[in-house]
Amino acid sequence: MIVKPRIRGFICTTAHPTGCEANVRNQIDYVQQAGAISQGQVKNVLVLGCSGGYGLASRIVAAFGCGANTLGVSFEKLPGQKKTATAGWYNNIAFEAAADDAGLYAKTLDGDAFSDEMRAQVIDTIRADMGKIDLVVYSLASPVRQHPHTGHLHRSSIKPLGQALHIKSVNVDKGEVIEVDLEGATEQETADTVAVMGGEDWEFWMDALLQADVLAQGCQTVAYTYIGTKLTWPIYWEGTLGQAKLDLDRASKAIDHKLRALQGTARVAVLKAIVSQASSAIPVVPLYVALLFKVMKELGNHEDIISHIHRLFATQLASGSALRLDEDGRIRMDNIELAEEVQAEVQRRWPLVNTDNLDQLGDLAGYQEDFLKIFGFGFADVDYDAEVDPTLGRLV
């Protein structure tokens, strides 16, 4: 079949197998060209949420930057003869093939990472293949979570707390700057969002790994988060998402205390704004990101996903690195985004931007390009008019 992007709102319902492979290969090439990172405590790595975005980048940097063995977990939709898989399915296959070529151990488990069954499967795999884990990366992004103990299906809501919110945003498809009204969240919606995006599941994972004795002495675990600036705080940090992020901070401290017996650590890492399927669903964020990218590219300090995660590993996670911590003990990787010269210019442009000047003040084209690349589209060396087998010749 010939695969073209089919976009519905902030979701692309197709993914290009060859394009996804190109995306993975390009990230690997970047890491290899950047040079080896001191391996330190990055030898056997578990990545929860490994198939895209920061999770995939973390797996690539761990493997091809540090030479680590990697075990990944993700939940993907399989392809059929006339339909594509999710991009993550193709990403995982491309990564495993590249790791195999490089002589690196890489295995991916597909299923519900929130379930106790997946935890058991991961532990069995670690015992059989890896010994003990040095680094656990928690990078799960899902709008829903079925609680493993109660069976209740929690659905997250991206809403402000309390009163309704009127705020500027952008219709990415139409390239129009718009005003949106968002209802305030109920207490139940807030609690459900914390259940999905907070720290409880991270705690469940680390408790299970500790109890199974599959964590190495000095083990590190890191969970990714985003805080942003006052432009996005009304819907992000001061909304339901912010409550979930505060719970992630709580979990970090609880896990860190438990890991002291192994001289291990748990940290939340605050990363920069990126284009992802998850971030595209958050009102305000796409407009902020379009302005931010334009400013950072003009200043010459823009980072894409792979370069950002490479900096995290090289400067923060490698053995002996001095950590850049805030008052709450989080690793701050958003320091370039939050630099005064960057934020002053973004905030200057915010009240000025409208549909007519969006291309001058922001980088919506770059945003759209990055969005399509998530699904394997927009790579110059890929023939998008060629027939491809969406199953990659695999029985599914």
Is the model's pLDDT at 364 over the cut of 90? yes
pLDDT at 396: 62
pLDDT at 395: 63
Residue with tokens 């296959």: 93
Are 55 and 73 a contacting pair, CB within 8 Å? no
Catalytic residue of the set 54, 90, 224, 236: 236
69-74 and 44-48 strand pairing: parallel
For the segment 41-78, what is each residue's pLDDT rounded down to a tens digit? Answer: 789 999 999 999 999 999 999 999 999 999 999 999 99
Structure tokens at 246: 């505060």
* Higher per-residue confidence, 232 vs 340: 340
Among candidate residues 4, 25, 24, 26, the one with its CA nearest the CA of residue 15: 4
Entry field: residues in the chain: 396
Are 107 and 100 a contacting pair, CB within 8 Å? no
Is the model's pLDDT at 180 over the cut of 80? yes
Q: Give dist(CA 275, CA 85) in Å, integer.
A: 21
pLDDT at 372: 95
pLDDT at 392: 92
The DSSP 8-state label assigned to residue 260 in this structure reads: G
Is the model's pLDDT at 110 over the cut of 70? yes
Q: Give dist(CA 159, CA 165) in Å, integer.
A: 9
Determine the number of helices (DSSP H) and then strands (DSSP E) in the chain. 13, 13
Mean pLDDT of the chain: 94
What's the pLDDT band for 127 if we cut at 50, 70, 90? very high
What's the pLDDT band for 223 if we cut at 50, 70, 90? very high
Q: In this structure, is the dihedral angle defined by the CA atoms of residues 310, 315, 317 and 319, taken in order, positive or negative?
A: positive
Q: What is the mean pLDDT of residues 342-349?
A: 97
Q: Give dist(CA 316, CA 320) in Å, integer.
A: 9
Domain residue limits, the chain: 16-145+154-160+189-282+300-337
Q: Give dist(CA 191, CA 149) in Å, integer.
A: 16
The model carries a pTM of: 0.96
Burial of residue 289 (number of CB atoms within 10 Å: 0-12, 13-18, 19+) = buried
Burial of residue 294 (number of CB atoms within 10 Å: 0-12, 13-18, 19+) = buried
Is the model's pLDDT at 164 over the cut of 90? no
Element (H, E) at 373: helix 364-374
* 16-145+154-160+189-282+300-337: CATH superfamily: NAD(P)-binding Rossmann-like Domain (3.40.50.720)
Rounded percentage of the chain residues whose pLDDT exceeds 90: 84
In the annotation, is 236 catalytic? yes
Q: What is the mean pLDDT of residues 7-25?
A: 92
* Higher per-residue confidence, 121 vs 174: 121
What's the pLDDT band for 124 if we cut at 50, 70, 90? very high
Q: Give dist(CA 288, CA 170) in Å, integer.
A: 9
* Higher per-residue confidence, 7 vs 87: 87
Rounded percentage of the chain residues whose pLDDT exceeds 70: 99
The DSSP 8-state label assigned to residue 316 in this structure reads: I
For the segment 268-320, what is each residue's pLDDT rounded down to a tens digit? Answer: 999 999 998 777 778 888 999 999 999 999 999 999 999 999 999 999 998 67
Q: What is the mean pLDDT of residues 354-367?
A: 96
pLDDT at 319: 66
Q: Give dist(CA 167, CA 182) in Å, integer.
A: 8
Among the residue ranges 163-172, 197-206, 258-267, the one predicted with the least confidence is 163-172
Q: Give dist(CA 59, CA 57) in Å, integer.
A: 5
Among candidate residues 319, 233, 223, 325, the one with its CA nearest the CA of residue 268: 223
- Other beta carbons less than 10 A from residue 146's beta carbon: 13
Q: Give dist(CA 84, CA 28) in Å, integer.
A: 24
